[in-house]
């Protein structure tokens, strides 16, 4: 990601490690999408089945949001 100029990135594993959710700064989402083929290939080489980009962008505390949703269900 840094080779594409993306400085802030977080990858979260979901669904038992089959889904990688990529978070970057909102201004970098278009860069990630422009390099989606290379990124998807690299993520799959790490053992993930699916690769997704969080369109809301990077944000501290995002995992807390997910836990809150699960607690309500």
Quote the tokens at residue 34: 């422009």
In this predicted structure, what is the pLDDT of residue 34? 96
Q: Which residue(s) pair with 21 in the sheet?
A: 12, 52
Q: Which residue(s) pair with 52 in the sheet?
A: 21
- Give pTM, 2 decimals: 0.77
Count CB atoms within 10 A of the CB of residue 32: 19
- Which tens digits make up the pLDDT trace of 34-66? 999 999 999 999 999 999 999 888 876 656 555
Confidence of residue 33 (pLDDT cuts 50, 70, 90): very high
């Amino acid at each position: 990601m840094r080779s594409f100029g993306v400085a802030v990135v977080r990858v979260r594993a979901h669904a038992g490690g089959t889904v990688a959710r990529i978070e970057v700064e909102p201004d970098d989402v278009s860069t990630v999408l422009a390099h989606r083929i290379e990124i998807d290939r690299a993520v799959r080489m790490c053992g993930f089945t699916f690769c997704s980009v969080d369109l809301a962008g990077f944000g501290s505390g995002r995992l807390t949001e997910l836990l809150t949703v699960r607690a309500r269900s």
